[in-house]
Amino acid sequence: MTRNLDLSTESNWQLMYSVSIPATVIGTVGGKTYYAKITPIRPGIILDKAVLGIAINTTIPTGKRWSYAGSLSRFTDSSLGEIDIDKRKPLFLGRFNLAISDNLSNNYQLEIQVPKWFISCNLGIYQYEGDSRTIIEQELDVIKSAVISG
Each residue's pLDDT tens digit, 2-44: 767 788 888 999 999 999 999 999 999 999 999 999 999 999 9
Give the residues across from 18 on adjacent strands.
124
Q: What is the dihedral angle through the alpha carbons of 95, 99, 100, 105, rounded to the nearest 10 degrees?
A: -160
b/e 6-29 (16+ beta carbons within 10 angstroms → b): eeeeeebbeebbeeeeebeeeeee
8, part of any domain: no
134, part of any domain: yes
Alpha-carbon span 74 to 84, nearest angstrom: 6
Number of structural domains the chain divides into: 1
Which domain range does residue 48 map to?
13-148
CATH code at position 90: 2.60.120
139, part of any domain: yes
Question: Which of 146, 122, 30, 2 shows the shortest CA–CA distance to 70?
Answer: 122
Question: Which of 82, 73, 38 shows the shortest CA–CA distance to 54?
Answer: 73
pTM (predicted TM-score): 0.81
Question: Which of 67, 16, 8, 66 shows the shortest CA–CA distance to 44?
Answer: 16
Report pLDDT digits (tens) over 82-140. 888 888 999 999 899 999 887 666 789 999 999 999 999 999 999 999 876 666 766 77
3, part of any domain: no
